[in-house]
């Protein structure tokens, strides 16, 4: 009890700051709303406003930029008049000069960006080589690392879309998804290593871990774990729950170990056309047999069945 009273008496003698009061060694903002802390931080600003810089050389060259936020040594160091950028991490957006509306969080994220705008990079070295690319989103270590001028890409995952240089409208979600693609466009890869080997193919869709992982062609669709994973350079394949074959092109493969198939909307629907047949491997095709001859054969079989039914009835009546 004695120790408690002593502690309380000591605390009572301390002068605590009021709520909202300035902390010790506060860095005051200037009249334009700029706040800086660190050697050379915001040292060149003349007419810029509402920017915050903490770290050696953070926003050091900014003269007229506004609403920029830089935390970390050399973050946004070379920007002059850009606006509405956020850079957190050592050398984040180091070489950005005029690009605006960017967010870079992570050491060396968007390091080489110069005039690229409206990008979001989160992760160590994410979009590290981007220079003029715009409207890209990269989350993960090395995501979209090599992209320089590509636009409207989304990379989520460790090394996702890592090697792309001039990419357009690609979506990669998962570790190493589309990692080898350099100049591809309009591809969608969801799952670890999905479309990982693709280099310049376009308009592919791979959903599932390892889907189309070896493919380098275009216009293919794969759905399921390792779907289309055996396909190499073919085009316009569709693989659903099937790994495909290396030489496949313009081929549809659905399923692997199934023993029954039910498809709605077929039974009872009359059509005019070729007769579809299925061989022992499950391949579908049309027969070249004469339809009239097949119809006559079917009619004969129906007559035989009717005759057998009549005989059975006679036997039952005896």
Each domain of the chain, given as residue ranges in start order, spans: 33-152
- Tell which phi-psi region holds residue 294, choosing left (phi > 0), alpha (psi between -120 and 50) or beta: alpha
pLDDT band at 277 (very low <50, low <70, confident <90, very high): confident
Cα–Cα distance, 252 to 299 (Å, whole number): 34
Determine the average pLDDT of the residues in 72-77.
97
pLDDT band at 90 (very low <50, low <70, confident <90, very high): very high
Determine the average pLDDT of the residues in 109-125.
97
Cα–Cα distance, 68 to 83 (Å, whole number): 6
Cα–Cα distance, 210 to 233 (Å, whole number): 16
What is the pLDDT, as a whole number, of residue 190?
A: 98
Q: Does 5 score more than 90 pLDDT?
A: no
Cα–Cα distance, 159 to 145 (Å, whole number): 8
Q: Does 51 score more than 50 pLDDT?
A: yes
Q: Which of 15-19, 145-149, 191-195, 246-250 has the lowest mean pLDDT?
A: 15-19
In this structure, what DSSP letter does residue 134 have? B
Q: Does 14 score more than 90 pLDDT?
A: no
Q: Does 25 score more than 70 pLDDT?
A: no
What is the pLDDT, as a whole number, of residue 298?
A: 75
Decide: helix, strand or coil at residue 248. coil
Q: Does 296 score more than 60 pLDDT?
A: yes
- Kindly report the backbone phi and psi dihedral angles of residue 272, in degrees, each rounded to the nearest multiple of 5, phi listed first: -115, 120
Q: Does 126 score more than 90 pLDDT?
A: yes
Q: What's the predicted TM-score (pTM) here?
A: 0.80
- The DSSP annotation for 200-223 comes to S-BS-EEESTTTTTT---SS-EEE
| Residue located via tokens 């810089």 | 53
What is the pLDDT, as a whole number, of residue 4?
A: 47
Cα–Cα distance, 71 to 84 (Å, whole number): 14
Give the helix/strand (H/E) hosting 299.
helix 291-317
């Amino acid at each position: 009890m004695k120790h408690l009273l002593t502690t309380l008496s000591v605390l009572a003698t301390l002068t605590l700051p009021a709520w909202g009061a300035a902390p010790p060694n506060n860095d005051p903002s200037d009249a334009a709303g700029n706040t800086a802390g660190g050697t050379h931080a915001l040292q060149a600003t003349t007419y810029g406003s509402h920017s915050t810089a903490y770290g050696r050389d953070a926003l050091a060259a900014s003269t007229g930029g506004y609403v920029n936020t830089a935390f970390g040594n050399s973050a946004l160091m070379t920007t002059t008049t850009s606006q509405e950028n956020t850079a957190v991490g050592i050398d984040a957006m180091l070489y950005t000069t005029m690009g605006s509306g960017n967010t870079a969080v992570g050491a060396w994220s968007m390091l080489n960006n110069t005039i690229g705008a409206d990008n979001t990079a989160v992760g160590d070295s994410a979009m590290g080589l981007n220079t003029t690319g715009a409207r890209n989103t990269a989350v993960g270590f090395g995501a979209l690392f090599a992209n320089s001028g590509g636009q409207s890409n989304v990379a989520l995952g460790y090394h996702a879309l890592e090697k792309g240089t001039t990419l357009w409208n690609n979506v990669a979600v998962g570790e190493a998804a589309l990692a080898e693609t350099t100049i591809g466009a309009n591809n969608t890869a969801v799952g670890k290593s999905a479309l990982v080997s693709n280099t310049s193919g376009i308009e592919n869709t791979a959903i599932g871990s390892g889907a189309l992982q070896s493919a380098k062609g275009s216009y293919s669709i794969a759905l399921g774990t390792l779907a289309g994973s055996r396909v190499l350079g073919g085009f316009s394949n569709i693989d659903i729950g099937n790994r495909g074959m290396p030489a496949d092109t313009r081929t549809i493969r659905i399923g692997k170990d199934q023993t029954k198939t039910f498809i709605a909307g077929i039974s009872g629907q009359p059509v005019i056309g070729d007769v579809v047949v299925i061989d022992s491997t499950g391949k579908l095709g049309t027969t070249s047999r004469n339809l009239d001859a097949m119809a006559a054969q079917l009619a004969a079989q129906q007559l035989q069945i009717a005759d057998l039914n009549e005989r059975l009835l006679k036997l039952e009546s005896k």
